[in-house]
Amino acid sequence: MQNEKIKIILNYLSNYRQHIPGVFFILVALFIKLVLTKSIEPEALTTFSTNINHTAIQIPNWVFNTRFALDLIAGLCAGLGLYQIIRGFKKGISSIIGAIGGLVVLGFLVWGASGTSISFTGMLAVMVIRSVPITIGALAGILSERAGIVNIAIEGMMIAGAFAGAVIGSILGLWAGILAAILIGALLGLVHAVLSIKYKVDQIISGTMINIFSTGLTSYLFIKFLQDSQNQWLNESGFFKPYAIPLLSKIPVIGPIFFDHNLFIYAMYFLVILLSIALFKTKWGLRHRSVGEHPKAADTLGVNVFRTRYLACVLSGMVAGFGGAYFSLGSVGRFEQTMTAGRGFIALAAMIFGNWNPLGALQAGMLFGFAESLTTKLSLLQFPIPAEVLLMLPYIITMVVLAGVVGRSRGPAADGIPYEKESL
């Protein structure tokens, strides 16, 4: 009896992979309770304003006691930590880590806005907008990696898409711009496919080459032509105007956050749903994934590995090019040098964070989008914590998740390995 109890306790202790996150969560809770709450007056109020426009039904702002809210957040963190130590979240740990990160940020917001008010809805609406290129980029990554081709050229495909979108969009109109962005993405995807499938170039090197090439070429053309004031008409595409979806945008809070945006945001929802179904519920998807997991077996069963991989690369390029068009046609209406600013790489992180899963990618994209929208807010709020420190958070969280302190995210088994058909 006694021995068994000791065994069980030892078992708990030895399972350190499970305990580290739990302890970490509790430390976070202690930090919020002891450090953040200390500087707050007991009667201080925080206001989250909920109305940003007049399309949605107006509801009163949320006003609450700062201390109470912080205690609640700390309690949640501690509860999650305790559960992790005792029982352990098995598969859902990635989302729990994400939730803890979200709680911490929320805690900071509540603390920072103590005595003033933040436009909560506005911030989340910006989050959705900023998540678009990251999520779409991650979807592009999923498409190619599920078929076994590592695509780190998303950044390059995006900048090329942004450029083509802006220039063709200025000449022939917005829709033609989108088409051009998709085509240029497809072209770069094809180059990646030829290099990595036909010539068996290391896929990461091939991707790096495409990145350097597109960044160089777009910057070159921008300086050579678009900077000239005579040629400004080539870089004035304008952008897609937001369109409030009838009924849905009327829902308070939810409406303005999710359903009052432009084409690209709706396209993102559509692509996430489409890919989730196509990859996991269709015959095509099964073949696609089998090529990424075990190309030899797929080949034996009559799946054309090479054709599947070519198609995957081109589709991935098309999606990435479309995502790139967001930068010019979806937000500022013109092309600027290096306007993707590394979003293609963050998209890769979002893909891994989301476990090579479209829905996961959307969640991860939202997280990164939230981090971006936070910066703009924090600089307005005169926040006492330097924005840069909070900005590091998504990257550090990604590394923690990747590092699998918490159970690893696992990519397709044959990812990055060239397939060679055995000759008889």
The structure tokens listed for 310 are 């070519």
The structure tokens listed for 198 are 């036909």
Burial per residue of 69-78, b for 16 or more beta-carbon CB atoms within 10 angstroms, e otherwise = bbebbbebbb
Q: Does 220 bind other proteins (CB under 8 A)?
A: yes
State the Cα–Cα distance between residues 257 and 50, nearest whole angstrom: 10
Q: What angle do CA 85, 90, 128 make, to 5 degrees?
A: 105
Total Cβ atoms within 10 A of residue 171: 13
Q: Which is nearer to other proteins, 4 or 422 (CB)?
A: 422
Least distance between other proteins and beta carbon 139 (Å): 17
Least distance between other proteins and beta carbon 101 (Å): 14
Least distance between other proteins and beta carbon 76 (Å): 27
Which 3 state secondary structure label does DSSP give 64? strand
Least distance between other proteins and beta carbon 148 (Å): 12
Q: Are 415 and 292 in contact (CB under 8 A)?
A: yes
Q: Which of 8, 27, 172, 212 binds other proteins (CB under 8 A)?
A: 212
Within 379-398, which residues bind other proteins (CB under 8 A)?
386, 388-389, 391-392, 395-396, 398
Q: Which helix (H) or strand (E) holds 49?
A: strand 45-49
| Binding residues with other proteins: total (CB under 8 A) | 45
Within 324-343, which residues bind other proteins (CB under 8 A)?
342
Q: Where are the alpha helices (DSSP H) in 194-304?
A: 203-221, 254-258, 263-281, 283-293, 295-300
| Location of structure tokens 């179904």 | 277
Q: Where are the alpha helices (DSSP H) in 382-410?
A: 387-403
Q: Which of 50, 206, 316, 331 binds other proteins (CB under 8 A)?
A: 206
E-assigned strands of 226-342? Answer: 243-244, 260-261
Q: Which is nearer to other proteins, 70 or 226 (CB)?
A: 226
Within 341-370, which residues bind other proteins (CB under 8 A)?
342, 345-346, 348-349, 352
Within 140-179, which residues bind other proteins (CB under 8 A)?
152
Q: Which is nearer to other proteins, 306 or 345 (CB)?
A: 345
Q: Which is nearer to other proteins, 70 or 346 (CB)?
A: 346
Q: Does 213 bind other proteins (CB under 8 A)?
A: yes
Q: Which is nearer to other proteins, 270 or 395 (CB)?
A: 395
Q: Where are the alpha helices (DSSP H) in 326-382?
A: 343-353, 358-381
Q: Does 414 bind other proteins (CB under 8 A)?
A: no
Least distance between other proteins and beta carbon 153 (Å): 11
The structure tokens listed for 128 are 């959705």
Q: Does 95 bind other proteins (CB under 8 A)?
A: no
| Binding track over 185-204 against other proteins, x by CB under 8 A | ----------x---x-xx-x
Burial per residue of 11-30, b for 16 or more beta-carbon CB atoms within 10 angstroms, e otherwise = eeeeeeebbebbebbbebbe
Q: Which is nearer to other proteins, 87 or 410 (CB)?
A: 410
State the Cα–Cα distance between residues 359 and 344, nearest whole angstrom: 18
Q: Which is nearer to other proteins, 380 or 392 (CB)?
A: 392
Chain residues binding other proteins by CB under 8 A are: 152, 195, 199, 201-202, 204-206, 208-210, 212-213, 215-217, 219-221, 223-225, 342, 345-346, 348-349, 352, 386, 388-389, 391-392, 395-396, 398-399, 402-405, 408, 410, 416-417
